[in-house]
Chains A and B, each alone.
Chain A
Amino acid sequence: DTAVSQTPKYLVTQMGNDKSIKCEQNLGHDTMYWYKQDSKKFLKIMFSYNNKELIINETVPNRFSPKSPDKAHLNLHINSLELGDSAVYFCASSQLGGARETQYFGPGTRLLVL
C-alpha cells in the first residue's frame, strides 16, 4: 500500500488555467505538508496542516489555496496558473503534529505550465 499518494503524477496545462493536485496519506498522521521543488531541485515548504488546521503558510501567492477535508487529505488548488508555477510539488505527512518527526513524502506531481 502506498503511504502518501498524489494525483496526478504529471500535469501539463496552459497559462491562466485552474488546476488541483490531490494528496492522501494512509499512515494515520495528523500533519500534512506541501512543498515546491524548482528546476534546480531546491525544496521549499509552502503549507502545513495539522488536524485540518493551517499552521504554516509561507509567502506563497494567494493563487495557491490548500484544502484539507479531513486529516488524511490535503489538496492544493492553483488559480490562474503562471509559467513560474512549473515545478514538482510534493506532499508529505508526519505523526503527532510535530515536524521533528520523520516526514513521509509522496512521489511528486510534475506540473508544466505552457
Chain B
Amino acid sequence: GNSVTQMEGPVTLSEEAFLTINCTYTATGYPSLFWYVQYPGEGLQLLLKATKADDKGSNKGFEATYRKETTSFHLEKGSVQVSDSAVYFCALITQGGSEKLVFGKGTKLTVNP
C-alpha cells in the first residue's frame, strides 16, 4: 500500500539554525509529493509540492527535492525563524484510481528566539 514515513518529533531549534525533516514514501506508480504546514490552531496549508522525479519544490525559504532513487522528499530550510514553529506534514497522492492524500504522522517544530 501507499504510505509516508517522516521523522518523529518534536524538533526544537534555535532561530537561524538549519532545519531538515526527513520524509520517505512507499507508493505504487509515480506519486506527487507534498509538504503541508499546520500553524497552531489553524488548518493545513500547502507549503510546497513536486510532481515528478528530480523536481524541487520551494516556498518561504523551504525546499524539498523529489528523489525517486531513495524514495525521499526531505524538507530543508537554511535559517529558521520563530514564526516557522508549526507541525509539518509530508504527503503523497498516487496516480489513478481514487486519488487521495496520504499523510505522514507530522513533525512538530519549535523554534526558540
Contact = CB atoms under 8 A, between A and B. Distances in A.
B44 A105 contact: yes
Contacts of A59: none
A41 B108 contact: yes
Interface of A: 4, 33, 40-45, 48, 55-56, 90, 92, 98-100, 102-108
**DSSP majority for the B interface?**
strand
B105 interface: yes
Interface of B: 32, 36, 38, 42-46, 49, 51, 87, 89, 93, 95, 98-101, 103, 105-106, 108
Contact of A45 (B43, B100, B105): B100
Contact of B43 (A41, A42, A44, A106): A106
Contact of A56 (B44, B49, B98): B98
Contacts of B87: 41
A105 B49 CA distance: 16
A107 B43 contact: yes
B43 A90 contact: yes
Contacts of A4: 43
A105 B45 contact: yes
